[in-house]
Amino acid sequence: MATGYLTTHVLDTARGMPAAGIGITLFRIDGDTRHEVARTRTNADGRTDAPILPAEAFSPGVYELVFDAGAYLDREGDGAAQPRFLDVIPIRFGMSDPTAHYHVPLLLSPYGYSTYRGS
């Protein structure tokens, strides 16, 4: 039985604060097909209120988190140029350990982003 789970959060590195209100969609990747698994939004702390993939739904495999960064940047006044430099940010990653906590954060600014496997 899997006991692993997946969390994420978004930090606005240009402002030095959490990025609230960013829409996030999680997909499971099966070959060339993406299956939507979950939809959520970041809270005031830039995190989701619960794991985006809790233990009861966890299964090893390839996944993709898609962050709606463009709408957030527009709200913060950083998306004036059209088309935006950043809009939708997909991060594809694998989870192999059915007992592990996977944490995939997004560090965001208007003209760049980075991610890593957190703890």
Q: Is the peptide bond before 51 cis (omega within 30 degrees of 0)?
A: no
Identify the pLDDT of residue 79.
Answer: 61
- Pairing of the two strands 112-115 and 106-109: antiparallel
pLDDT confidence tier of residue 21, bands split at 50, 70 and 90? very high
Pick from 48, 37, 58, 21: which is nearest to 105 by CA? Answer: 48
d(CA 49, CA 60): 22
Identify the pLDDT of residue 83.
Answer: 85
Identify the pLDDT of residue 84.
Answer: 85
pLDDT confidence tier of residue 52, bands split at 50, 70 and 90? very high
Residue 86 tokens read as: 């950043």
The mean of the pLDDT values for the chain is 94
pLDDT confidence tier of residue 80, bands split at 50, 70 and 90? low
d(CA 104, CA 85): 22
